[in-house]
Amino acid sequence: MSLTARAIFSSRVIQGWLEGQDIAPQGSSHSSSPCPTFQRILTAFQLLGLLGSMKGMTSNSVASECALKMYAEGEINIINKTELTQFAAHFISDNAQTQACNVANFAAVGEETPLQRAEWIKFVGAFANLENRANQVYKAVKDNYLCLTKFAEAKKKTFKPIVAWMEYYNGIWSFTKETYKLKYVEDAGGENVDGSINKITYNISNPDDIEELHAILCTIDILIDETYTSDPVGYTQAAFLQNINIEDKSCFGFVTNQSLWRYDKRIQNLTTLEDWFDGAVSQPQLVLADLIEILFPSGNYNTTYFRNIAKGEEVMSIGPNMCDRNISTAMDPIIPACR
């Protein structure tokens, strides 16, 4: 589509981690498609150089420094959802319901591998006649991701840490079933906790469940806590241990070795809006670089998305003052060294 037409980009977050977000940029000219669908795609916009043409959004809860700067300076307005019909394209990420003819589905969140999720930038590029740029960005991301994978492959020959992604909700602990997260661990040179337990939940008020969970936790080297909280700033290792409700922690290697992580390092307005649901989708090479550092610490790499709550690492609040680049130009993907 040409950049004279208008498109409305909408995203919906799953599992309560983010509130629904509609974003309305100018541009896109597949006029035959009056409306498409998206998850968090502001990073994709920036990588394609589309952010400067964005004119509206339905909420200022976004994990983008430069989008927040545009909003603060009056270049982006808050748009009422009743005004969406004026746009040529409506991008959303929820295809469970029947949609109007001007809806396009950005379904990156449904993909099973990190690179498949990142490749959806080509879909965005197609709506703005930026296929070449999208292909260029994806190639750079993919090449770096594969380079990092080879680096991790060499590392795991001497040691293969066991990693678990866990979530606590309403008195129940469970292990992740999301394939792309398990793939990240494999590509970073780690080993996922025994797959047979991923179908099991553990009730902290049930003594038998507590005993089984304790035995599993004693086998884990690195734990990633995905628990939802409305107060990320206040979520510490103490909060995690309280939720676990296990007195004997002496065998917990991830506690002894201080390797207890969360992926809410980059949030907006000190709330629950993590860049994990935006930037991490389009730039999986940064997630992989983070995980390699987590699994095989070098001490000279600062993680982008993960913070170590075992060491008291705090969140980073995203704000408009952090936008230090020309918004009208395309942002290049960040390429970590294959150290």
Domains of the chain: 7-140 (3.40.50), 145-322 (3.40.50.1980)
Query: How far does Cα 305 stand from its chain's mean position?
Result: 8
CA end-to-end span of the chain: 40
For the stretch 257-266, pLDDT in tens is 999 999 999 9
The helix or strand, by DSSP H or E, that contains position 162, with its residue range, turns out to be: strand 162-169
- 40: Cβ contacts below 8 Å, ≥ 6 apart: 11, 13, 18, 21, 63, 277, 278, 281
Task: Return the pLDDT at 322.
Answer: 95
Q: Does pLDDT of 85 surpass 90?
A: no
This prediction's pTM: 0.86
How many other CB atoms sit within 10 Å of the CB of residue 277? 19
Residue 177 amino acid letter? K
User: 197 pLDDT band (50/70/90 cuts)?
Assistant: confident
3-class DSSP assignment, residue 65: helix
- The CA-based angle 224-183-169, given to 5 degrees, is 35
**Phi first, then psi: what are they for 56, rounded to 5°?**
-165, 160
Q: What is the DSSP string of 32-58?
A: T------SS-HHHHHHHT-GGGEEEES
Residue pair 121/48 in contact by the 8 Å Cβ criterion: yes
Residue 219's closest CA among 188, 253, 173? 253
pLDDT band at 94 (very low <50, low <70, confident <90, very high): low
Predicted confidence (pLDDT) per residue in 144-165, tens digit: 999 999 999 998 778 899 999 9
| Residue scoring higher pLDDT (146 or 60) | 146
Q: What is the pLDDT of residue 270?
A: 78
Q: What is the pLDDT of residues 6-39, one digit of tens each?
A: 444 443 322 222 223 444 444 333 322 222 233 3
Pick the residue with more confidence: 280 or 196?
A: 280
Distance CA 336, CA 162 (A): 24
Q: What is the pLDDT of residue 39?
A: 37
- Region of 104 (left: φ > 0; alpha: ψ -120 to 50; beta: rest) is beta
**In sequence order, what DSSP letters do the residues of 286-337 get, joined into one string?**
HHHHHHHHHHS--SS---SS-EEGGGTPPPEEE-GGG--S-TTSPPPPP---
84 vs 211, which has greater pLDDT?
Answer: 211
pLDDT at residue 210, as a whole number? 93
Question: Strand 260-262 and strand 21-25: pairing?
Answer: unpaired
Region 46-55 average pLDDT: 89
- Say if residues 3 and 59 touch (Cβ distance below 8 Å): no
Q: Tell which wins on pLDDT, 156 or 90.
A: 156
Q: What is the mean pLDDT of residues 175-187?
A: 95
d(CA 193, CA 223): 10
Residues 250 and 211: beta-carbon distance below 8 Å: no
Look at residue 84 and tell me whether its pLDDT is greater than 50.
Answer: yes
Q: In which band, very low, low, confident or very high, does the pLDDT at 56 lie, cut at 50, 70 and 90?
A: confident
Query: Which residue has better confidence, 178 or 102?
Result: 178
The larger pLDDT score, comparing residue 117 to residue 57, is at 117
Question: What CA–CA distance (Å, rounded) separates 150 from 325?
Answer: 32
Q: Is the pLDDT of residue 297 over 50?
A: yes
| DSSP structural state of residue 174 | E
pLDDT tens for 103-112 read: 666 678 789 9
Tell which phi-psi region holds residue 260, choosing left (phi > 0), alpha (psi between -120 and 50) or beta. beta
**How many Cα neighbours within 13 Å face the side chain of 109?**
20
Summarize the confidence of residues 264-276 as an average pLDDT.
85
Q: How confident is the model at residue 198 (pLDDT cuts 50, 70, 90)?
A: low
160: left (phi over 0), alpha (psi -120 to 50) or beta: beta
- d(CA 125, CA 263) in angstroms, rounded, equals 28
pLDDT exceeds cutoff 50 at 92:
yes
**Alpha helices (runs of H) in 177-206, residue ranges in sequence order:** 179-187
Interval 299-316: pLDDT, tens: 999 999 999 999 999 999
* 23-27, 134-138, 186-190, 199-203: range with lowest mean pLDDT: 23-27
Higher pLDDT: 157 or 84? It is 157
